[in-house]
Structure 1
Amino acid sequence: MANVVMYAKTTCPYCHRARALLDEKGVQNLELILIDRDPSRRPEMIERAGGRTTVPQIFIDGQHVGGCDDLMALERAGKLDPLLAA
């Protein structure tokens, strides 16, 4: 299964929704970076996400897939499972 990195905040409902989908998909290799607990990681997130400043920002095997809405769109299009299976 793919390695997933998600930049998030503890109180963000979109982060919780994205995490729930990843948990539902059985993602084992999830690195959760909480930028509200470690604000020094926020500039790293912005740089990796091409200037995006909102959370969550999700990366699957190093590929930026976007935020919660982007993750849900991948799921609806049937493209999330192949990314996670890589």
Structure 2
Amino acid sequence: MAKVTIYTTAICPFCVSAKRLLASKGIVNITEVRVDREPAKRKEMMAKSGQRTVPQIWIGERHVGGFTDLSALDKRGELDPLLAS
């Protein structure tokens, strides 16, 4: 299974949806980085992704994007192989 990292905040419904989708795929060991607790982590996220909104999701070394991007990968049948790598 690939390592999954998600940059999140406490009150983000898209973050909850992303974690729920990943859990439905059997991914329970997610590294969650709370940018609302650590402002330096938001700067890190923005530098790595070029985005300021959460969630920002990485599967392995690949930046997937946000929940909409994750969901689109799943609908195209590309999420499961990516998670298995």
Q: TM-score, normalised by structure 2?
A: 0.96
Indicate the residue corresponding to 1:6 in structure 2.
6
Any residues of structure 2 matched to 1:4-83 within 5 Å, and which? 4-49=4-49, 51-83=50-82
Q: TM-score, normalised by structure 1?
A: 0.95
Structure 1 residues 25-34 or 65-74, which shifts more? 25-34
Q: How many residues align?
A: 85
Deviation of the 1:8 alpha carbon: 0.5
SS in 1 for 2:6: strand
> Separation in 2 of the partners of 1:4 and 1:58?
7
Q: Which runs of 5+ in 2 are unaligned?
A: none
Deviation of the 1:38 alpha carbon: 1.4
Cα deviation 1:21-43 (Å, max 9, x = unaligned):
01111113310001011111001
SS in 2 for 1:70: helix
CA RMSD of aligned residues (A): 0.8
> Runs of 4+ in structure 1 displaced over 6 angstroms?
none
Contact kept, 8 Å, 1:8 with 1:15, in 2: the verdict is yes
> Separation in 2 of the partners of 1:40 and 1:46?
10
